[in-house]
Amino acid sequence: GAVVSQHPSRVICKSGTSVKIECRSLDFQATTMFWYRQFPKQSLMLMATSNEGSKATYEQGVEKDKFLINHASLTLSTLTVTSAHPEDSSFYICSARSLSSSYNEQFFGPGTRLTVL
């Protein structure tokens, strides 16, 4: 199957700092990538849809200025958590859709665990 990577896998930062998370599709081009947030023992919540070369589409309730998304190439999307606070601590997962896949399923990255002190 298609492979999606995320970096870093784990990050701890101080309150008020910004953190950038990278999501890469390694063996396919992804015009669309997705960013999810998952709290402990809960389901995945879609935060935004990232489209290559255009602005991201954010879900209701997600602050655009807080979670900056850039999708500059067909293989890379970045999520920047600006001025992070402890309540932003969560597991962030990206996914990408491969148009060549059998079911147009989303392939997920391994996730990034963010802890804000």
Name the site residues for another protein (rule: CB under 8 A): 1, 32, 34, 42-46, 49, 91, 93, 95, 97, 102-111, 113
Least separation in angstroms between residue 72's CB and another protein is 19
Which of 54, 102 has the CB closer to another protein? Answer: 102
From the CB of 22, what's the least distance to another protein, in Å? 16
Task: Report the distance separating Cα 8 and Cα 56, nearest Å.
Answer: 21
Comparison of 2 and 82: residue with beta carbon closer to another protein = 2
Please give the full DSSP string across 33-48, using - where no structure is assigned: EEEEEE-TTS-EEEEE
**Minimum CB–partner distance for residue 87 and another protein (Å):** 20
| Angle, CA 21 vertex, CA 54 and CA 42 arms, to 5° | 100
Largest interatomic CA distance in the chain: 43
Which amino acid appears at position 35 of this protein? W
If the CB atoms of residues 78 and 112 are measured against another protein, the closer one turns out to be 112
Pick between residue 22 and residue 82 the one whose CB is nearest to another protein: 22
- According to DSSP, residue 113 is labeled E
Find the shortest distance in angstroms from Cβ 99 to another protein: 12
Residues recorded for the chain: 117
